[in-house]
Structure 1
Amino acid sequence: MRERSPGRLDEMPEPQISAPDGAGKTVALDATRGPQGFSFALPAQRGAVVASESRYAVKDWTHAGIGVVKPMFYARLLGEAKAGMPAVPPDTIQALDILPTGKAGEFRVVFQGTPLPATDVRIIAPNAWTREVATDSQGLVSFKFPWRGQYILHVIHLEPTAGAFDGAPYAAIRHRATATLTTSSGARTETPTTWRASPTH
């Protein structure tokens, strides 16, 4: 997700970012909001960095066929894409998450700790090329990383649970998760100097 400030980045009031410290204890990371996103000091265990935003306002996205929803955002920094990527600490698994299985290019999508089948996962390459692949019955999905650089995996799950947030009612909770990883191998490619803003939904 490449949001900007001023812009949609400002709609995220207080993202929570955390990672294990040297003793393995999960601690909050101090983040600074800037024009290109949030910046923070990376801990030694980079693959364990996670972020979430639970205070995003209720949105009426009826025009897009989504309805009135409470958006929830989750992000994970995975580090280098390679076989044998370490399992993530269990206490860092978020409501909707994209987890490495240890096999090269393979990930499992989970919701509330349970594999999520038949769900589209989008990969966004360094050159803005994208592709969507559906998870199998075990929530598994596989990708190749042909170019060196940063990749983002992206998944959305709509939870049909009504409620209210800050006095605004909603018909469902819309969970959105990303996992960011890099690869130092593969062909070189051009990264766009300007990325299109994410759609409003």
Structure 2
Amino acid sequence: MGAASTASSTPASHRVLVALVPLALFIALVALLAFGLGNDPRKVPSPLVGKPVPVFSLPELTDPGRSVSDTDLKGTISLVNVWASWCGSCRAEHQALMALSEIPDFQVVGLNWKDDAENATQVLRLTGNPYDMNGYDPDNSVGIHWGVYGAPETFVVDRKGIIRYKHIGPIDRTVWEETLQPLVAELQAEG
């Protein structure tokens, strides 16, 4: 009789474990979903922050005889803005970039990404050109090394050519005042 009762208790405990496994997986999935929904998709960390800008050289969009390279990002604080003429969010941030281009002691550098040069130059002619220089990257040969996966994206680069911050999405007054301006002021104070 003792052997029979032991055999009957094993299947019951086994059934409890089998029932708990899907419940545990469901709880883990809900927790992962809640964590993902609680994060801002524009705050994707960049593995390049704290590292030198990638080595690159691109033709200048409005003057293809000139080039834009990583060496142009040394010696001054730079906002490197990834944009395209087909990008609606880029158009939305354009006026903010025009205002930023008037602020002394840093440069706004464009990275025209996956675009048609004629369309891009026409947009700049019609809306104004906030860029001190503008690298033309139609095939993403440079953007891929910067970790660009969409437009607009903006990088803050210090005087030594180190990427200090990456912003995904359009820059507006709030982004400038709350995030970028304090960082630029800190970098300016570093001399």
Scaled by the length of structure 2, the TM-score of the pair is 0.24
Asked which structure has the greater RCO (Cα within 8 Å, sep 6+), the reply is: 2
Higher strand share: 1
Scaled by the length of structure 1, the TM-score of the pair is 0.24
Higher helix share: 2
